[in-house]
Structure 1
Amino acid sequence: MFVGRNVTARSSAALVAVALLTTSCAGQDGNASTPKAAASPSTPHGYVEGAQERAEQQSRLVLNDPETGDSRVLDLITGKAHEVPRTTGTTHLTTDGRFAYFHTAGGTRVLDSGAWMVDHGDHVHYYRATVRGVGRLPAGADARIRSDAGVAVVTDGDGRATIYRRAALEKGRIGSPRPLPGTLAGAVVPYAEHLLGLTEDGKLAVYDREGKRVASPDARCEDPKGDAVTRRGAVLGCADGALLVREDDGTFTAEKIPYDSDVPEKERATDFHHRPGSDTLTAPSGDRAAWVLDVTERTWKRVRTSAPVISVNTAGEGSVLIVLEADGSLHGYDIATGKQVTRTKPLITGALDAGTDGNAAPIVEVDRSRAYLNDPKGKRVHEIDYNDNLRVARTFDLDIAPSLMVETGR
């Protein structure tokens, strides 16, 4: 049973969203991630059949206990936890902002969390709908899933990629797959209505959404690990830094953002975390450090920590680097100076292991106003106000161990 404590309204986010919703977006509906009814005098702008449009972000947390299979969707607006079908043996839980993907050895279960946003650049639409199961993708635990408004692309461990239409997922079904020719290194990343892939020898290739190769920018990325899409372009993690891919009027270019010096393999950035919409990426770096990649400035900064890093994230420019360390506390570091500026009391129950594979360890998720930290053994999730010295704003007690967590609605 859920119990909420220290309830704090997300009023600032709501005010921002209301202001955004008053801005016209005529002619931009084609960018929405969900089909809309035909425009008419009786159809409000932004209308989505079966969903309610709201003035503020409709954040939800999808939670899973891999051992028991128990799963919940925690609505951060109402504070209620909703039971959803069990999924046992989940090795990774990932999301594209709406759909949650439960990766298991026997396939990947897809859950529509019923919360999402449509970003038109100058304003945003927020939607909420009923949580529902979509089906199972024939993709194992090592599959990497990336998506945009039009497609979801599944890249398996052997480098074979398959394209699925997002419209089918939104209607509650998997749909017909379309294979991408050949094998690729790393995940295939949808970007600017195209697909970015790396050939087995590390060369960048651009495909259209039908799988046809349409461009081959002169760029390489050796041993690709980690990726993210930002407003400044798509970022691919490479052995010597990052490759930033940008699109301008149909032309794709690539620029390397190298590390300042030779970085040992164990200290590379291989798994990026950031607030959606932010151009500041974070990643663990070895035992006691974290990377901050400023995509706008094209710079890397390595911040040393006081204890081994379990998880790291940031809201972006002007915000602290949030690090969950092995002592169970959240530590806030000034990104510019690298100095620790704040620290919480221990928030995690039991010992933490910085060497845990996948995302089975507690994780820090960040949105436009709050951060979230799951405590599996304590069967709870903490909501953190990162603008107020990492203050615990709310604590949600749960009836399951939330070992895996992702946030949707962002």
Structure 2
Amino acid sequence: MTVRRNVTPWASAALVLTALLTASCAGENDKSSRPEASSPSATPHGYVEGAQEAAEQQSRLLLNDPGSGNSRVLDLVTGEVHRTARIQGAVRLGTDGRFGYLHAPGGTHVLDSGAWTVDHGDHVHYYSAAVRDVGELPVGRGAQVRSDVAVTAVTDEEGKTVLYDRGELEKGGIASSGTLEGTYTGAVVPYEEHLLAFADEGGTAKLVVLDRKGTRVAAPDVKCEEPRGDALTRRGVVLGCADGALLVREEDGAFTAEKIPYDQDVPARERATSFHGRPGSDTLTAPAGDGAVWVLDVTERSWTRMDTGRVVAVNTAGEGSPLLVLEADGSLHGYDIATGKQTARTTTLLTGGEPAGTGGSTPVIEVDRGRAYVNDPEGKRVFEIDYNDDLRIARSFDLDIEPVLMAETGR
């Protein structure tokens, strides 16, 4: 693999973050998280067996070429490329921040990227470990997978949900911890030691809150027509509905659901059905039909519709960052979310110009705190974009496969 660079190292940022991490963790008084000096056998705060802790985010890209089945993991810190399982015919690649889920006809393959972040609220820990293949979940291409730190919920096309022990996945194994009774519409989302799901009641999707054994413990008085799409934010879980979205929050053990309506009649083909944003951000994006984008400000509980060119992929880092839209001309465009005006544009990134394919086979935009990544399958490369510097191409990574499917981990 060849890496073309146009960026200076982030050494100073790493040193600052190291100091902040040290100061923050040292300030914790909980004896369970800070070993006493007289106990040399005690493990240090944040210790994870088999992993190395770092001062900066350990981002990696999971890449797959469905045609050949070849998969790679690109380490964005070192530039190294790791070969991994050969999964042919995959149609989607999802991630929960550490594990990748390749949805193929024969099952859903689980890949441990070996990079993840643990957020303690006032500080974070960044970890890296070896890349490894975990194995197959016995569900096909239509399965939906959602995770938290304790459980992974896998919902098949019939609405049956099986729970898997997240701790076992981290050890390299697959172990079911139970199957939920009944069926649910859409993905079952783990949240605050519970599960959020939509139950069909009289032809209407009713939001229910389940404990980890599947027992219903709450049912906020709210309905959601045609639920589709979900995202976890710091404000709670956002669930897409035909007339907007629901924001589900937990406080002191109680769950509430608040409607965030479009405030206009939106045709079915222009509704937000898949959300994209930087993990930890409260700004979400979604295509709004062929030539526009929705921006959902979860903090303000407001939608903004922005007219763009024909949308291939969209994302944003939020918090004052530009809206990033990969358009049909093959170039990345930046927009000011407040004004709707275009502020920057790259040269054509996609070999052959307009991308082919639909759904999961189209290029994507992955975003973290400092960079965005765009895959060029036909050109066998990935671009790293500095979205805070007029969409400057900071690096490009030449690969030995066509990276049709891409997802970022370590965030």
TM range (shorter): over 0.9
Match of 2:317 among 311, 315, 318: 315
Q: Is the 8 A contact 1:65 1:71 kept in 2?
A: yes
The CA deviation at 1:375 is 0.4
Give the whole-Å Cα distance in 2 for the aligned partners of 1:151 and 1:388. Answer: 39
Matches within 5 A, 1:9-408: 9-11=9-11, 13-15=13-15, 17-22=17-22, 23-24=24-25, 25-27=28-30, 40-42=39-41, 43-200=43-200, 201-305=204-308, 307-353=309-355, 356-408=357-409
Give me the CA root mean square deviation: 1.8
How far apart, CA to CA, are the structure 1 residues paired with 2:47 and 2:247?
A: 35
* 8 Å Cα contact 2:3/2:395 also seen in 1: no
The amino acid that maps onto 2:333 is H
Q: How far apart, in 2, do the equivalents of 1:252 and 1:17 lie?
A: 35
Q: Shift of residue 11 of structure 1? A: 3.9
The CA distance in 2 between the partners of 1:2 and 1:239, in whole Å, is 45
Report if aligned partners of 2:380, 2:402 keep a CA contact under 8 Å in 1: yes
Which residue identity lines up with residue 324 of structure 1 in the other structure? L
Shift of 1:317: 1.4
Q: Deviations over 1:321-368 (max 9, x none)?
A: 0000000111000101111111111111114358x4332111000001
When normalised by structure 2's length, the TM-score is 0.94
**Structure 1 pair 238/65, CA: closer, same or farther in 2 (3 Å)?**
same
Deviations 1:271-301 (A, max 9, x none): 1000000000000110110000000000000
Please state whether the residue corresponding to 1:141 is helix, strand or coil. Answer: coil
* Structure 2 unaligned residues grouped into runs of 5+: none
Task: Check the 8 A contact 1:159/1:186 in 2, yes or no.
Answer: yes
In 1, are the aligned partners of 2:163 and 2:179 still within 8 Å (CA)? yes
CA distance in 2, matches of 1:393, 1:28: 44
The one-character-per-residue Cα deviations of 1:239-298 (angstroms, maximum 9, x if unpaired) are 000000000000000000000200000000001000000000000110110000000000
Distance 2:227 2:39 in 1: 47
Q: Which residue of 2 aligns with 1:33?
A: none
Q: Tell me, what secondary structure is at the counterpart of 2:159? A: coil
Residues 320 and 334, structure 1, Cα contact 8 Å, conserved in 2: yes
- C-alpha contact (below 8 Å) 1:72/1:82 kept by paired residues: yes
The 2-side partners of 1:225 and 1:83 are apart by 34
**Aligned residue pairs: how many?**
401
Supply the AA of the counterpart residue of 2:247: L
Query: What percentage of aligned pairs have identical amino acids?
Result: 67
Equivalent residue of 2:378, what SS? coil
In 2, Cα distance between equivalents of 1:138 and 1:328: 37
Q: CA deviation at 1:28?
A: 10
Conserved? CA contact 2:162–2:176, under 8 Å: no
Using a 3 Å threshold, how does the CA distance of structure 1 residues 12 and 342 change in structure 2: closer, same or farther?
Answer: farther
385-394 or 15-24: bigger deviation: 15-24
- Do the aligned partners of 1:303 and 1:338 also contact (CA within 8 Å) in 2? yes
Where structure 1 has 5 or more consecutive residues not aligned to the other structure, the ranges are 31-35
AA aligned to 1:335 is I
Asked if the contact 1:58/1:127 (under 8 Å) is kept, the reply is yes
1:88-126 deviations in Å (ceiling 9; x for gaps): 000001100000011001100001000001001110000
